[in-house]
Structure 1
Amino acid sequence: MLKPDQDKPLEPSCGRLLLVEDDKVFCDRLARALLRRGYEVDTATSVHQARAQANANWPDFVVLDLRLGQENGFDLLPFFQRRTPQPYVVMLSAYANVASAVSAIKAGAVDYLAKPTDADAIDAALKSSRVEHPSKPPEHLMSPDRVKWEYIQRIYEQSDHNVSKTARRLRMYRRTLQRILRKHAPAD
């Protein structure tokens, strides 16, 4: 772990971050930059070191290289997904392609960045991952019939209440539209 007296953080603590990167020079440079952005940074250069470091100090965030020498960063994703709380994982790869990005996201990573990348891009990915996503749907969802009716009504109003024009825009028979409008007509 980098000591706070080496590089003082410019921001308050954002949380513990484990940086897993086999390129020592890139790892040290990135660790210092992330430390200045307020993260408590631990580093590892292999799958084994990453597991040991995570067990010693469970991270809030993980920045994980796809290829770690002869090892694969994907091997660590299930390790981080099994424990609670699950850290936000951002994958890095110099060999970025769509297939590996999709695999990483499906395996639990919150973002996938192509190398070369910088601390700003990683920080932005980590901060965007912390945005709370609603875990349950809103209480008052409209039924599919209600959504359909409101859409028809909107097109009908945009067509100046012309049934034939509305039917053409909705690609439905005019008679079908008339029945729908009659069914939902306000009672006199």
Structure 2
Amino acid sequence: MKLLIIEDDNAFAGVLARRMSRQGFECHHAAEPSEALLSARRWCPSHVLLDMKLAESNGLSLITPLRASLPKATIVLLTGFASIATAVEAVKLGADNYLAKPADTQTLLAALLPHAGHAQKRALPDEQPMNPRRLEWEHLQQVLSANEGNVSATARQLGMHRRTLQRKLAKKPH
């Protein structure tokens, strides 16, 4: 199984690649839309994890060309900001599934391998659930990124004091 990870956050893409490699996927990472489309044509992956927000681009715009070059591939859109409208749009464009970040390994596998039996899922090694502090920190990072690094705008959006947000961001959990 070949998995193309289209994600502009290199650290997150590395985490995804390690997690999915342990589950039997051969992983390849592309950070930019043009690189992703070229990799899809040359490498012919059986599965694609596509980030919704790619630097200056939108992952939705890649679904149609990916589907055209990989008609049998399973395409899963990942987003930090899930909405019903975006999910419907992604499926209309040809995505097989739509997941909110962060998604645990079992959820990713269920989306990438929808026809795998429950017995196979149970046979996989148990993964430690994500620490609540880590989950909060990642959410803060996503909202900060959506606000282009503006801490004040992020704090307003999250309904917290700017200094509180800065303290939480400074304490990266392990």
TM-score (normalised: structure 1): 0.59
Superposition RMSD in Å: 1.6
Within a 5 Å distance, the mapping from 1:75-90 to structure 2 comes to: 75-83=61-69, 85-90=71-76
Which of 6, 31, 40 aligns to 1:54? It is 40
Within a 5 Å distance, the mapping from 1:138-153 to structure 2 comes to: none
Which of 4, 21, 28 aligns to 2:7? It is 21
Supply the distance in 2 between the matched residues of 1:78 and 1:47 (Cα, whole angstroms): 12
Secondary structure at the aligned position of 1:112 is classed as strand
Return 5+ residue gaps in structure 2 as ranges. 118-174
- Residue of structure 2 equivalent to 1:106: 92
Supply the distance in 2 between the matched residues of 1:96 and 1:56 (Cα, whole angstroms): 31
Which of 115, 118, 123 aligns to 2:109? It is 123
| Counterpart code for 2:2 | R
- The Cα offsets for residues 61-88 of structure 1, whole Å up to 9 and x where unpaired, read as 1000011011111111111221354311
- Residue of structure 2 equivalent to 1:35: 21
Larger radius of gyration: 1
Supply the distance in 2 between the matched residues of 1:34 and 1:119 (Cα, whole angstroms): 7
The alpha-carbon deviation at position 130 of structure 1 amounts to 6.6
Supply the distance in 2 between the matched residues of 1:21 and 1:129 (Cα, whole angstroms): 25
Secondary structure at the aligned position of 2:4 is classed as strand
Return 5+ residue gaps in structure 1 as ranges. 1-14, 132-188
Identity level (%): 37
Supply the distance in 2 between the matched residues of 1:130 and 1:107 (Cα, whole angstroms): 24
1:93 lines up with 2:79 in the alignment: yes
Contact map agreement 1:18 1:42 (CA 8 A) in 2:
yes
**Structure 1 moving runs of 4+ over 6 Å:** none
Alignment length (residue pairs): 117
| Counterpart code for 2:103 | T
| Counterpart code for 2:105 | A
